Structure 1
Amino acid sequence: MKYRDHRVALVVPCHNEGITIYNTVTSFKEAMPELELYVFDNSSKDNTSEEARRAGAEVIFVKTPGKGNVVRRIFADVDADIYVMTDGDDTYEAAAVKKLVDKLIDDKLDMVVGCRKVAPEIAELAYRSGHQWGNKMLTGTVMKIFGGQFTDMLSGYRVFSRRYAKSFPALAQGFETETELTVHALELRMPYGEVMTEYSERPEGSESKLSTYKDGFRILNMIVRLFMREKPVVFFGIIASLFALLSMLFGMPVIDEFLETGLVPRLPTALLAASLMMIAIACLFAGLVLDGITTSRQEIKRLFYLNTHKS
């Protein structure tokens, strides 16, 4: 078992998980006794920290709310060769942890995602209404924009290499962090993989912190922001094309009339068309300038990634 030659840390972001955090930590510890155990308590108001300590984990408190803020602290505070991240709600398959870690090591990957596989009879219990459809839609959108072959982009069960963890900027604040985790791997062209894992319903008395519409829109907003930040030429090129098209729609009749009569009777329309074309040109130049900045930023991140000791 190659993972025994590495420091492997279990990192669990959680908020008000109570008894489920105890079950989560103990099940992972049973599946892989070599794990170093860390629970990041995101301002819980229940006995989460006590249950985590009872399970044998070191508890680190994160006062700033939001899973993305917790992930930032995880990668900053934990020093390990391999990071196993899972949610604290006891829904992910702890027994699959060795498969994920072994795949990371054997295939020389930087990230392995535990794709959720749900038995049909418990699908309605494991997911809220619309969650599966929303996951497929958001994952498909990211794959169309950034490429890649992820099938469950929003899974909270992942394994990372050290150089992934130490090169990840962690700018997201909430549940949109999974999107940022995925795009970071795609933009640096890191090797990644997936492993199918069982996903079960939440234990009785445990409630999901994910808001279907609020967090869905936050994830979609993150996708748009990453699209603008990582592919500015394409993003602003689309906007420039739309403004240029509107400019031509308004301007062509004015130009035709001028060619026929030598007059411009519809001056406001002519000014609108000219203004729209100027906006289109400005958007195009903005995309070109930002592309140079993005390229430099990606080069710096890539060099930092390569300079980080690989586990």
Structure 2
Amino acid sequence: MSEYEDVCALVPTRNEAATIADVVDGLYDVGIGHVLVVDGNSRDDTPQIAEAHGAEVVQQTGDGKGQAVRQGVERIDESYILLLDGDGTNPPEQAPRLLGPLVGGDAEHVVGDRTADMQPGAMSGLNQFGNRLINRAFRRIHGEDYGDILSGYRAFTAESFDRMFLSAEGFGIETEMAVECARHEIPVEVVPTTYRPRPEGSETNLHPISDGARIIVTLYSLAKTSNPLFYFGSIGAGFGAVGTALAVWIGYEWFGRGISHEALTVVAGVVLLLGVQLLIFGVLSDLVVTLHREQTRRIERLNEED
């Protein structure tokens, strides 16, 4: 019997023929009971190699990593899920680090922090800068520190995944999972992991600029349900700043040069009023979200008592 008989390793892949065999073998070597590979229409022999090494292989029905993760989880019957990339950057021998807190009942979601041991050449300088920027933004917006929210090496309970609302198709899936953990107050633990460079012959599916922009947009847009005060307040502050700047310029024109701008005065007033209204709306929305969380906690406590 495998040591982690109630664990399924979920490996989304696309053109990972150079690495998938080592990943699957490494997972079985540490005692994972079931390896599921969701292949995103690879142009190489990735699915055949994975199947030859004992993995269950299914063809992805859609596009993007996010869709592959959701499709894979729907097929999994085990209680614990280990998610990792098939490109060899996430060492499968470190899987017990992530599974330990789950099996021990200390957490429902575990994030592997790649920054703890990032090997030379594993991530470009641009990607490292973007990673730091996004993690800082997440801490500021959602008030939680999950170390490395963009990490694709993580483990979670099937029950906690069912509580998440996930819609991202591509690499934004990790960001959505982090936001949902914060929003639903899912117990999260961060463990250090190694991040290795991709071997020669293995090409990345990540596009730093376009995917990074999508992740930032996803992170910001999700703030309207988890931190509405920040979301609406920041938009309101933007309108307020524009309205104030316009009003200052109108005042200078009037008092300094004797030139009146009646139409622009109306515009400045409307923009300022809109900024104030958005700020008030953010405060009220934050109050509703806070009350909802309190009510949810009370219901959960009552269910536990029953």
Partner of 1:18: 17
Residue 230 (structure 1) shift: 2.4
Q: Is it true that 1:93 corresponds to 2:80 in the alignment?
A: no
Q: 1:173 to 1:300 in 2, by over 3 A?
A: farther
Please give the secondary structure, in 2, of the residue aligned with 1:168. coil
Is the 1:39–1:59 Cα contact (8 Å) retained in structure 2? yes
Alignment-mate amino acid for residue 165 of structure 2 = P
Q: 1:276 to 1:163 in 2, by over 3 A?
A: same
Residue 20 (structure 1) shift: 1.3
Please give the secondary structure, in 2, of the residue aligned with 1:35. strand
Matches within 5 A, 1:1-311: 4=4, 7-32=6-31, 34-116=32-114, 122-124=119-121, 126-251=122-247, 265-284=260-279, 286-287=281-282
1:112-165 deviations in whole A, cap 9, x for unaligned? 112225767x512x2234222221121111111112222222111111012212
TM-score norm. by structure 1 comes to 0.83
Alignment-mate amino acid for residue 189 of structure 1 = E
Q: 1:73 to 1:289 in 2, by over 3 A?
A: farther
Residue 185 (structure 1) shift: 1.0
Q: 1:136 to 1:301 in 2, by over 3 A?
A: farther
Alignment-mate amino acid for residue 45 of structure 2 = N
Residue 74 (structure 1) shift: 2.1
Alignment-mate amino acid for residue 72 of structure 2 = I
Greater shift in the superposed pair: 295-304 or 284-293: 295-304
Residue 287 (structure 1) shift: 3.7
Greater shift in the superposed pair: 236-245 or 279-288: 279-288
CA distance in 2, matches of 1:305, 1:46: 48
Residue 254 (structure 1) shift: 6.9
Alignment-mate amino acid for residue 132 of structure 1 = Q
Q: 1:241 to 1:200 in 2, by over 3 A?
A: closer
1:99-123 deviations in whole A, cap 9, x for unaligned? 2211222252011112225767x51
Please give the secondary structure, in 2, of the residue aligned with 1:130. helix
Q: 1:276 to 1:188 in 2, by over 3 A?
A: same
CA distance in 1, matches of 2:24, 2:221: 34
Residue 19 (structure 1) shift: 3.4
Residue 66 (structure 1) shift: 0.7
Residue 288 (structure 1) shift: 5.9
Q: How many residues align?
A: 302
Alignment gaps of 5+ in structure 1? none
Please give the secondary structure, in 1, of the residue aligned with 2:19. helix
Residue 238 (structure 1) shift: 2.3
Alignment-mate amino acid for residue 195 of structure 2 = Y
Alignment gaps of 5+ in structure 2? none
Alignment-mate amino acid for residue 244 of structure 1 = G
Residue 43 (structure 1) shift: 1.7
Alignment-mate amino acid for residue 149 of structure 1 = D
Q: 1:301 to 1:11 in 2, by over 3 A?
A: farther
Alignment-mate amino acid for residue 168 of structure 1 = M
User: What percent of counterpart residues are identical?
Assistant: 28
Q: 1:191 to 1:119 in 2, by over 3 A?
A: closer
Residue 10 (structure 1) shift: 0.7
CA distance in 1, matches of 2:162, 2:232: 31
Greater shift in the superposed pair: 276-285 or 159-168: 276-285
Is the 1:2–1:105 Cα contact (8 Å) retained in structure 2? no
Alignment-mate amino acid for residue 16 of structure 1 = N
CA distance in 2, matches of 1:161, 1:192: 11
Q: Which gives a bigger RCO, structure 1 or 2 (Cα 8 Å, sep 6+)?
A: 1
Residue 307 (structure 1) shift: 12
Residue 304 (structure 1) shift: 11
Q: 1:257 to 1:201 in 2, by over 3 A?
A: closer
Please give the secondary structure, in 1, of the residue aligned with 2:132. helix
Alignment-mate amino acid for residue 193 of structure 2 = T
CA distance in 2, matches of 1:244, 1:117: 38
